[in-house]
Structure 1
Amino acid sequence: MNKTVLAGRRAVTPIQFAILTLCAGVAHAQSTDPAVPAGSGAPAGLSAPTAQANDSGKIAEVVVTATKRSTSLQKTPIAITALNAQTLEDNHVQTLLDVVNLVPGFQATGQGDHGVTTMTLRGIGNDSAKTEYADPEVATFVDGIYSPRPEGATALLFDLDAIEVLRGPQGTLWGRNSTVGAVNMQTAKPVLGSKSGSVEAGLGDYRRYGARGAFNIPLGETAALRIAAVHEQHDGYVDYQAYTAPSLESQRAAWAASGGAASAFQPINPNQFVRTGPKYSAQDQTAARISFLWEPSSALRWNIAYERFSDRGTPSMNLMQNPRPGQDFWSALIDTAPTLKRDSDSVRSRLEYQLNPDMQLTYIAGWSKFDGSSTFDQDAGADLPTSFSTGGNHQENNTVYSHYTNYSHEVELQSLGSRTVDWQLGLYYGAEDNGIRFDIPIFNGTQQGTVNWQGSFIQPKETVKSAAAFGQATWNLSSSLHLTGGARYTHDKRTNEGGNGYTWNGDPNVPQVPLSPNIDPTRPGQGYTPNNPSNTGEYNGHKWTGLLRLNYDIDRYNMVYASVATGYKSGGLQDGGKPYGDETLTNYEVGSKSTFLGGKLLVNNAIFYEKFRGFQFSAPVTNPDGTRGLATNNADGAKIYGLESEITAKITPDDRIMLALTYTPHAKLGKLIGGSNDYTLPVCSVPGISTCLDVTGHTMPHTPKFSAHVQYQHVFRLGEGSTLAPRISAHYETKSTLSVFDLGEEDRQKAYGRADLGLRYTRDKWWIDLFVRNVSDEKIKTSAFNPGPHAIWLAQYQPPRTVGFNTGVDF
């Protein structure tokens, strides 16, 4: 495709405001003791992210691992949001979808047919990064170990010390696919000599119940064990609609009008429509983790953990944006019962050895295995059949199997203590083996009808091998001025062995029945023909990424920084074995971090300008020969700039407020002609694409111009160790598009506000927490599409209003 970049007009007033905000940290340095002392510079593994309370009325110190060392949040020159365990609990965070409103510029969407989560940060993401083909631009890590597949982002979050969201490219230290940012989840680790634990349980509407617990068990003086488990379950939000069939006379007339023979007529079977059983958008997830710590000496420390995750919920349902008259919004006419089966096993290990007082060696290893399957009603009952083979459109999206294994090794060598030059070096190797079979049967009318199109995409073996070497050093030019430089070299190799698509060939000798796991489309005589060429192929690519940053401590309470950093996501293979290229991001950023009022007010700001190149646009398409597949092309990219601000204030010892603001006046696509079967688009003049639209200059999806999130909590002290703490969390954002196509109001989420309420009573070590989420029951779209012959608009939505309570005890 031709590549051009369109520059947008700068919004002068907001940028001037941003500069003034940044300068606030310079102009108002305080003379009292800071709330957050300088970081110790200890390696990250020696101190998990924490927020330690104090008795001075100051905001508790937050320690983060963004630089792969334990440093104070206020002394870390990176745009980072750190959410500690209490914040995660107060906001009932269970998956990364629940983190969205707590982080500036962060968006996430659920994908129903695959049951995965895709993420957008600072306007850049990839809604199609939901199969074995596509990697996300926002990388997820657990205890510093990369989680390669999007399914990992949906795992049930539990027993965490913190979640750190790093905004901007993290290609030097964090590496793989952290093009626009990284999310690092820090699990709670065993503690030596501590016999402690907690248990809790809760109930709510939609027959919600949940339970979780964690126990720390000392094993002598040098070892400890931590066991944690969780189960969360609720019924689906989407009710089943009853189907009322047209009269037999009208069915016969519709069938005859389509050219069908009278002798072949069949009445519509209403039993094909689901009325009972598990509903769509239900949760049924269980996870457990056992962690072991061995610390035989002050120089040697080993953490290893095994985690098991199981999901037996149901996919999130597509809903009609404008329901049929008489039908409830949270309902659908379903002819494919929902199923979802996902199991994952993970092992994570971190071994640290202090070679001498000035140097430490760390070995980080991870292994995980995933298996999954699902059935999903893609047509959502939007088109009503007029006969058994006319009017309607039956489509299932069925993952027959999806499995992957991956492992990674990372060796780090870094300096310790206070030095003129702080440095770290590392080597990384990661490998994946992916496989999937994904079936799409599409029938005219109902499952009884005739084949419209159906096919199976089978990728038995797709591999990824990634190797990297990296280094970063900070030259402490003085006690106040610090210059950091870093570089990473990455080599990626991807292969597809034997993958192909198999399309229904219309063989009159084969019955027209929906494709199912009982049918092997690779066998001759089953009615399917393999696509030509196959997907077999190999891709090799490499890239240098780097970082250059200057930060200056104005005094003990105010710091400013400026940086330029690059991120990179590997190219790969698409259907037909055709390669696509890598994508890169260069981010220019200026920021400040300030502490005011003796540690009772923190103000952190960042202004960023991103130049995105080689945007990997992926979408399901129909080829001119009638075959279908997932096509990936490198578009020109985008230019994005904006402002982020996070403010935390402890107004009184009992009043705390947190405010997160994002302003993104410009987030424009460069040259891109995109096609997708998920949308009704014009016939395409570009060879090789059936339908398409020129979206050059469109706003990047999921990027509102302005968003704000505020949390406020007050603590009433009732005496005798009892407290009552009401809280409110409110979110507002302006309208945003939901796809690159921006096909009108149906393809946008209008400006909205939502609020969550909570009330927590604590007495000694026992507590009870009542909550209402989405108080006003807002209908908030996270994705939209209008496929099918009648282009009826569907959408995925955030959950409706929910209420419930949790209660627990710490011991």
Structure 2
Amino acid sequence: MKIRNLATRKVAITPIQLAIFTLITSVGTAQAQTQTPASAPATSTASQTKTDKESSTISEVIVTGTKRATSLQKTPVAITAINAAALEDAHVQNVQDVVNLVPGFQATGQGDHGVITMTMRGIGNDSAKTEYADPEVAIFIDGIYAPRPEGATSLLFDLEGIEVLRGPQGTLWGRNATVGAVNMQTAKPKIGESSGSVEGGLGSYKRFGSRGAFNIPVSSELALRFAFAHEKHDGYVDYQAPSMLSLDSQKAAFATYLKNGGTVVPFQPINYALFVQDGPKYSAQDQTAARISMLWKPNAATKIDLSYEKFIDRGTPSMNLLQTPRAGQNHWSALIDTAPYTERDSDAIRGRIEYAINKDMQLTYIGGYSKFSGSSRFDQDGGANAPTSFTSGGSMQANNTVSSNYKNFSHEVELQSMGTRDIDWQLGLYYGSETNDIRFDIPILNGTYQGTVGWQGSFIQPKETVETAAAFGQATWNASNDTHITGGLRYTQDKRTNVDGRGYGFSGKPELSQAAITPNVNPAFANSNFAPYSFNDGSYSGNKVTGLLRISHDLDKDNMVYGSISTGYKSGGLQDGGKTYGPETLTNFELGSKSTLLGGAVRWNNALYYGKFKDFQFSAPVTAPDGTRGLQTSNADGATVYGFESELAAKLSKDDKLQVTIAIAKATLGNLVGGSNDYALPACKIPGISNCLDVSGNTMPHTPKFSAQVLYQHTFHLNEGTLTPRISLHYETETWLSVFNYGEGDKQEAYARADLGLRYQSTGKSSWYADFFVRNVGDNKVKTSAMNANGPWQAQYLPPRTFGVNVGIDF
């Protein structure tokens, strides 16, 4: 009766109330559902099976998010499993492409460091691209933590699938994951099978891509797999030609500069050759990766996986573009005085050894080593203002990573029960360490490269270390065939050190060089015209106990509900000046349901969550009252997040597939006064910051109140193959781009985006395919970050409309 009244009366229902109603409705539907599920064979996320393609039901998906091979629909965790076929259909190349397939997940590109930062359920850290900050969303590759996401994460290739787990995961995974984890599973060798695939592609912006994989059986116990990928396209950002000012105009502007207290120097005409007009453009891709894997089963009790991966990046960073282009200029262009440059290399060794002690117990070692080195050059000012003379009007700022090196070791030992038993359990020990060093230069000159110094500095961290150790365990009591109660605990201990870290600022001595700093300048030398102002030596240590309590109940063989309370934790650490900041913690409450409906034709999963953050870490580059600069991390009093997520997959017929994901979210920051050099903020009296803003109660960035994704495809059967058109539609409401919520320029308006695809797949003896795609059909300009430090609003954007074709063969 109440439901009928809601339908007939004009009642204002909030999105969260609607979410709760939907969740309750799904439970009611689950209780009424008595149809027999399909008898499709269980499959991993590796690929779409032939049975699934020819059936009108959805094949069972096996996931490993709980460190056991379990059915997705029997796993009481908010988890999205994306198989290799879905990744290929969506033309996924990096984590930023995955977000549309996962509710409550956002990823944004950040220019100068060229990495992708992630937000899940409203929580993320845009400064997790630096050596100082760890991400709230942990990335694992084959279960091994990746602190610097490169390689397989930057150029997704030869994957079995991706599992995205939402909520704290510390009682199961080696490295703590505050709000979620992304586990990428690389394709493994297959013993006794000789197979392979090769693909090549062309597209807009002179795109060229190739990839392949080859499985080589060596013996009845050993197999190898070799995979490679290469993707390259020109940059999206054109070079603007500078407006040539008359000499009289330049002299008049210079006179005004001197009158206003500018540094007295001889006049020079603007050297317009300093503005870049050709060469590699910003937002270009040039990435190559290769992996060789080995699977060895020396006996029935032992399995050994080992892989080595190499990644090379010679692309260019993304660019800060004017939100309102100059008159006569197109959106994808900028007045650039710093040519883009990127050189990044990473090597990774990953291994897994499984040993069955007996039929009831298994011992597993998971270990890895990765090494990353890189350098880059980035035009931070983006030509926001054109110079009026050689040292007035505009401001030239380059962000130059002279060198960065990261080494990471990861070791994990797990002991877990096997088979069917009253209590399933798992124990684990983890140790991870990082050794990092970096030199980062920022020259800021007035007007042009010829101009006087506005400010410039060099940040040199010769040795920064991170050590984390943890003991964790989880047990599930199978109280009955239908009811399962899970409890878990984790103890984490962290230590960080910074040895001889220094921040150097420009001294301004007139008898020494007044030019922009270059890599061959050692700022520690007496004649460099630099002096140290920030002494970053220090150490931090901390520990924390976190846990999980969850109960799940199978209403029948096709429907399950669950509820959980879990806590997440991220270590505190060090910042410029050797100062420390505190850890952050999350308490997450969650209710969920998972249902298989209409005899296996529909899979519908829902989750309702509420999270309470304590001491949320906010990081940003800031300027001190004395003019010096550095990266500062502050602990907000907290943050509150809550929302609803729903995923529906349906086989409307054996030839029609539909997938719908919905996310409703609200994320509110606690008490915090923050600053950032990327924003023109008002002056403030907070110690150590010259400009700041009270952001208490603001909405967290990259958190739309509502977002939805719809994917549909239909297969037409031809004489010699199949033709499958597909469409992907994404919609989300407006989102803020920073915690400052600083007006329209700091906001991405609500938008809808469409991607199209058309795939021909042969059915003869030679299995080949041609896949055509158009991404961002409407050529939407979707902002991922914003700034107004240079006056006019600038932003970075998702790529413009692109199109292409991939042709491949499986053998």
User: What TM-score do you get using the length of structure 2 for normalisation?
Assistant: 0.96
Name segments (4+ residues, structure 1) moved above 4 Å. 9-12, 34-39, 47-53, 150-154, 260-263
State percent identity of aligned pairs. Answer: 65
SS in 1 for 2:527: coil
2:510: which partner in 1? 508
Equivalence map 1:784-803=2 (5 Å): 784-788=786-790, 791-803=791-803
2:88: which partner in 1? 89
Matched, 1:626 2:630: no
2:719: which partner in 1? 719
Equivalence map 1:344-355=2 (5 Å): 344-355=346-357
In structure 2, what residue type is equivalent to 1:157? L
* Partner Cα distance (2:153, 2:399) in 1: 19
* Partner Cα distance (2:363, 2:176) in 1: 25
In structure 2, what residue type is equivalent to 1:346? A
* Partner Cα distance (2:425, 2:173) in 1: 15
1:356: which partner in 2? 358
Equivalence map 1:734-753=2 (5 Å): 734-753=733-752
1:19: which partner in 2? 23
* Partner Cα distance (1:33, 1:681) in 2: 59
* Partner Cα distance (2:173, 2:365) in 1: 15
* Partner Cα distance (1:50, 1:241) in 2: 46
2:648: which partner in 1? 647
1:478: which partner in 2? 480
**157 and 127 in structure 1: CA distance in 2 versus 1, 3 angstrom threshold:** same
Residue pair 2:470, 2:493 contacting (<8 A) in 1 also: yes
In structure 1, what residue type is equivalent to 2:33? A
Shift of 1:495: 0.3
SS in 2 for 1:250: helix
1:771: which partner in 2? 773
**361 and 335 in structure 1: CA distance in 2 versus 1, 3 angstrom threshold:** same
Shift of 1:283: 0.2
**738 and 110 in structure 1: CA distance in 2 versus 1, 3 angstrom threshold:** same
Shift of 1:525: 1.5
* Partner Cα distance (2:610, 2:41) in 1: 30
Shift of 1:687: 2.1
1:5: which partner in 2? none
Shift of 1:213: 0.5
* Partner Cα distance (1:465, 1:443) in 2: 39
Shift of 1:511: 2.0
What does the per-residue CA deviation read over 1:198-241, in whole Å, with 9 as the maximum and x for residues that have no partner? Answer: 00000001000100000000011000000000100000000001
* Partner Cα distance (2:236, 2:263) in 1: 42
Residue pair 1:285, 1:313 contacting (<8 A) in 2 also: yes
More off after superposition, 234-243 vs 165-174: 165-174
Residue pair 2:174, 2:412 contacting (<8 A) in 1 also: no
Shift of 1:128: 1.1
1:44: which partner in 2? none
1:423: which partner in 2? 425
Residue pair 2:45, 2:84 contacting (<8 A) in 1 also: no
**393 and 12 in structure 1: CA distance in 2 versus 1, 3 angstrom threshold:** closer
SS in 2 for 1:525: helix
Shift of 1:654: 0.2
* Partner Cα distance (1:154, 1:66) in 2: 18
* Partner Cα distance (2:15, 2:194) in 1: 57
* Partner Cα distance (1:325, 1:605) in 2: 49
Residue pair 1:621, 1:629 contacting (<8 A) in 2 also: yes
1:217: which partner in 2? 216
* Partner Cα distance (2:296, 2:181) in 1: 29
Equivalence map 1:524-543=2 (5 Å): 524-532=526-534, 534-543=535-544
SS in 1 for 2:211: strand
Shift of 1:723: 0.3
Residue pair 2:311, 2:345 contacting (<8 A) in 1 also: yes
In structure 2, what residue type is equivalent to 1:697? G
- Unmatched runs of 5 consecutive residues or more in structure 2: 1-12
Matched, 1:590 2:576: no
Residue pair 2:42, 2:61 contacting (<8 A) in 1 also: no
Residue pair 1:591, 1:604 contacting (<8 A) in 2 also: yes
Equivalence map 1:300-315=2 (5 Å): 300-315=302-317
1:704: which partner in 2? 704
Matched, 1:451 2:453: yes
**246 and 117 in structure 1: CA distance in 2 versus 1, 3 angstrom threshold:** same
CA-based RMSD? 1.6
* Partner Cα distance (1:236, 1:32) in 2: 53
More off after superposition, 165-174 vs 644-653: 165-174
User: What TM-score do you get using the length of structure 1 for normalisation?
Assistant: 0.96
**185 and 172 in structure 1: CA distance in 2 versus 1, 3 angstrom threshold:** same
Equivalence map 1:468-617=2 (5 Å): 468-532=470-534, 534-617=535-618
Residue pair 2:23, 2:593 contacting (<8 A) in 1 also: no
What does the per-residue CA deviation read over 1:521-543, in whole Å, with 9 as the maximum and x for residues that have no partner? Answer: 111120111014x1000100111
SS in 2 for 1:668: strand
Residue pair 1:118, 1:150 contacting (<8 A) in 2 also: no
**323 and 80 in structure 1: CA distance in 2 versus 1, 3 angstrom threshold:** same
In structure 1, what residue type is equivalent to 2:671? K
2:167: which partner in 1? 168
- Unmatched runs of 5 consecutive residues or more in structure 1: 1-8, 40-46
* Partner Cα distance (1:504, 1:304) in 2: 49
Equivalence map 1:44-63=2 (5 Å): 52-54=49-51, 55-63=54-62
Shift of 1:152: 6.1
1:636: which partner in 2? 637
1:29: which partner in 2? 33
In structure 1, what residue type is equivalent to 2:66? T
Matched, 1:388 2:387: no
* Partner Cα distance (1:143, 1:563) in 2: 26
SS in 2 for 1:89: helix
* Partner Cα distance (2:567, 2:210) in 1: 42
Q: How many residues align?
A: 791
1:343: which partner in 2? 345
* Partner Cα distance (1:341, 1:393) in 2: 26
Residue pair 2:560, 2:595 contacting (<8 A) in 1 also: yes
1:656: which partner in 2? 657
In structure 2, what residue type is equivalent to 1:693? L
